[in-house]
Each structure stands twice: as structure tokens, then as C-alpha cells.
């Protein structure tokens, strides 16, 4: 791969992932360093997320499927529909970035905030790739530094070439095809971290979230993508929602005995059960600019019946997101 392609893909990779802590005692400092590095790569912009800076907000409802509570006692899996706020985004820390910008690396995001019936909230934070490129915080920081050190005048092999050559999971993540979807509503999203789900009988299982468009995935050609308006992903979804709700199925892929739950680079086999939990209906576009800066999605913002696994990524993500949130309030 040429430097331009590798660097663009790697920056997009950096835009899509979150660090893993080398130790619990170092979590806060690692999180701060991660946000610092994102600000170095993309610039620090007022009232803007360090990562997934460009987004579009919608509201809707989640309606649980019959039997969803067999997996977990979580409030939103029982009873009446639950209001949700949904944020779709492009990767990277560039405000108002065009969908086609190579710095995105083809990565999109979907975050869902459930407004629970007890007055609480729960958050899901997902990306458009099933799997994760690195397994340690040191490797992630190495990736960020390699991107920053791999300018056009860097000697060959560049730091990013060396890093990807030494990390097969990262190389596979970077080079996997990532076609342009028709809209944010025609793409699947994955929670790459494992969580523990417990039902009323006390039965606990590990699983990973995924969200799949009811109408199926749909993409445009490279030529069509290049010719589109810069924010077609959000604009096309807004137009669709104005006509009818855009629907997704919320699912959990359940781990089998022995499947790794603490290493997000390890994608579980396709034959693992997929449990359908219900439908997310996106029903209305919101004024993103007016409320964007008030919203914070945290992967550790859970509810009874859903708990953390041994995946250390999740708590570090919360530390980094909170740090970024504090900076955009300044």
C-alpha cells in the first residue's frame, strides 16, 4: 500500500477505536493521552468531540420482542416501548467532515440512549465494523504515534507500515472493504465489546450487541460515492425518516463456552446464536446543532440485568469519552 492509502486508512482506524489500559491504575492517564493524541491528529476544535466529531441526531422508540427478557431483566426489554435518542456519526475528529473524506477510513458510528421507565438511562455505542484491531493500550498508543510519525518524508518502511506489519488484526481491520452506504440507515453496527446479560432466573450469558437495518444493507458504488453531497449519509436518512420510520433490529450475539470475552480483536464465529431483542424505530430528525454538545454516550452507562465482562476496553472508553466531553464544554 502507498503511504497515502495506509495513512488514511490508519487515521480512519484511529477514529474508530478506543484504547485498552495497560493497567487499572493507569486508566485515567491513558484516557487523557488518547484524547490528547486525537486532538494532535485532527486538531482541537471548540465544542467538538475528539472522535466521531461529525454526527446527526434522531429520536425514536425501542419496542422489545416477545421473549427478550429471557436474556436479561433490563427494563427496556420488558413492557412498553422505550424512547431513544440515536446519534449517527462519521469517524475522526474533524468537524463537519464530508462522508467521503479518507480520514474517516470508512468507519461510521451509531450510539443509542434509552430513556428508561425508572427515570434512568442506558447507552449503546457501536461502530460499523465487527471486530477490533488492537488488544492493548500500548498497541493503540503505538498506532496513534505511528500515524503521527508517518508523514510523506518519513523513511521507508514508515512507522505505520511497521506497525501494521507487526499487528495482523490491525492490518486486517484497515484493509477490510468498507463501501459507502446509501445512508446511515442502511448499515449494520456492532458493539465490539462483550457484556454479561442476566435474566430473572439468574442465568448469565455473555454477548455482543449488533444493530441490523430491517430493510437490509444498501451501498453505492465508489463512483457514486465520490459524486455525492458531503453529508448525504445524514441527509438521505433525514429524508427517509420524514416519509416513514427507519427500522433496525437490536440483537445480541451470544458467546459459547470458551469464546474470548476480554479481547475485542477476537470475532466470534458466525454460528454463535443471534438473539433478537426488538426493534429500534428512528422516527424524527432532531436539531443536531442545538443539542449536540449536551449529549454524552458512555458504554458503562448500563442498567440492571446488563453488566461488564472482563473486557477492559469498556471502562477506558468511558474515561476517554468523559475527558473529551469536559473539553468540549470549555
Q: What pLDDT shows up at residue 28? A: 53
The domain spanning residue 8 has which CATH number?
A: 2.40.180.10
Q: Exposed e or buried b for every residue in 208-218, given b needs 16+ CB within 10 A?
A: bbbbbbeeeee
User: Which residues form the domain of 69?
Assistant: 3-328
User: Strands 54-64 and 82-90, how do they pair?
Assistant: antiparallel
Q: How many domains does the chain have?
A: 1
CA 63, 65, 67, 73: dihedral to nearest 10 degrees?
-30
Is residue 44 helix, strand or coil? coil
What is the reported pTM?
0.91
**Active-site hit among 45, 52, 167, 231:** 52
- pLDDT by residue for the chain (330 residues), tens digit each? 333 334 444 444 444 443 333 334 444 588 888 888 889 989 999 999 999 999 999 999 999 999 999 999 999 999 899 999 999 999 999 999 999 999 888 999 999 999 999 999 999 999 999 998 887 667 777 788 788 889 889 999 999 999 999 999 999 999 999 999 999 999 999 998 999 999 999 999 999 999 999 999 999 999 999 999 999 999 999 999 999 999 999 999 999 999 999 998 999 999 999 999 999 999 999 999 999 999 999 999 999 999 999 988 788 889 889 999 999 998
CA 71, 72, 76, 79: dihedral to nearest 10 degrees?
80
Distance, CA of 98 to chain centre: 18
Q: How long is the chain?
A: 330
What is the rounded distance in angstroms from the CA atom of residue 10 to the CA atom of residue 143? 8
Q: What pLDDT shows up at residue 307? A: 98
Q: What pLDDT shows up at residue 303? A: 98
Q: How many other C-beta atoms can be found within 10 angstroms of the C-beta atom of residue 291?
A: 11
Whether 52 is catalytic: yes
Set of cell numbers at residue 313? 476496553
Amino acid at each position: 500500500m502507498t503511504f497515502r492509502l495506509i495513512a488514511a486508512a490508519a487515521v480512519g482506524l484511529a477514529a474508530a477505536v478506543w484504547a485498552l489500559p495497560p493497567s487499572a491504575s493507569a486508566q485515567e492517564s491513558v484516557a487523557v493521552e488518547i484524547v490528547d493524541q486525537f486532538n494532535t491528529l485532527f486538531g482541537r476544535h471548540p465544542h467538538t468531540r475528539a472522535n466521531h466529531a461529525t454526527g446527526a441526531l434522531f429520536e425514536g422508540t425501542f419496542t422489545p420482542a416477545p421473549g427478550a427478557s429471557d436474556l436479561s431483566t433490563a427494563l427496556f426489554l420488558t413492557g412498553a416501548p422505550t424512547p431513544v435518542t440515536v446519534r449517527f456519526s462519521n469517524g475522526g475528529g474533524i468537524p463537519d467532515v464530508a462522508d467521503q473524506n479518507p480520514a474517516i477510513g470508512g468507519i461510521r458510528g451509531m450510539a443509542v440512549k434509552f430513556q428508561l421507565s425508572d427515570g434512568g438511562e442506558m447507552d449503546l455505542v457501536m461502530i460499523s465494523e465487527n471486530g477490533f484491531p488492537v488488544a492493548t493500550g500500548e498497541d493503540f498508543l503505538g498506532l496513534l504515534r505511528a500515524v503521527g510519525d508517518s508523514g510523506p518524508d518519513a523513511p521507508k518502511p514508515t512507522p505505520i507500515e511497521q506497525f501494521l506489519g507487526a499487528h495482523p488484526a490491525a492490518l486486517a481491520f484497515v484493509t477490510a472493504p468498507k463501501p459507502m452506504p446509501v445512508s446511515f440507515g442502511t448499515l449494520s453496527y456492532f458493539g465490539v465489546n462483550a457484556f454479561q446479560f442476566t435474566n430473572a432466573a439468574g442465568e448469565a450469558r455473555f454477548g455482543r450487541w449488533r444493530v441490523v437495518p430491517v430493510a437490509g444493507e444498501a451501498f453505492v458504488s465508489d463512483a457514486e460515492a465520490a459524486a455525492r453531497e458531503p453529508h448525504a449519509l445524514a441527509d438521505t436518512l433525514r429524508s427517509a425518516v420524514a416519509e416513514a420510520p427507519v427500522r433496525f433490529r437490536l440483537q445480541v450475539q451470544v458467546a459459547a463456552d470458551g469464546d474470548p470475552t476480554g479481547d475485542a480483536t477476537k470475532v466470534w464465529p458466525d454460528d454463535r446464536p443471534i438473539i433478537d431483542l426488538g426493534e429500534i424505530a428512528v422516527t424524527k430528525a432532531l436539531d443536531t446543532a442545538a443539542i449536540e454538545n449536551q449529549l454524552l454516550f458512555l458504554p458503562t452507562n448500563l442498567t440492571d440485568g446488563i453488566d461488564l465482562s472482563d473486557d477492559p476496553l469498556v471502562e477506558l472508553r468511558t474515561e476517554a469519552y468523559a475527558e473529551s466531553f469536559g473539553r468540549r464544554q470549555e
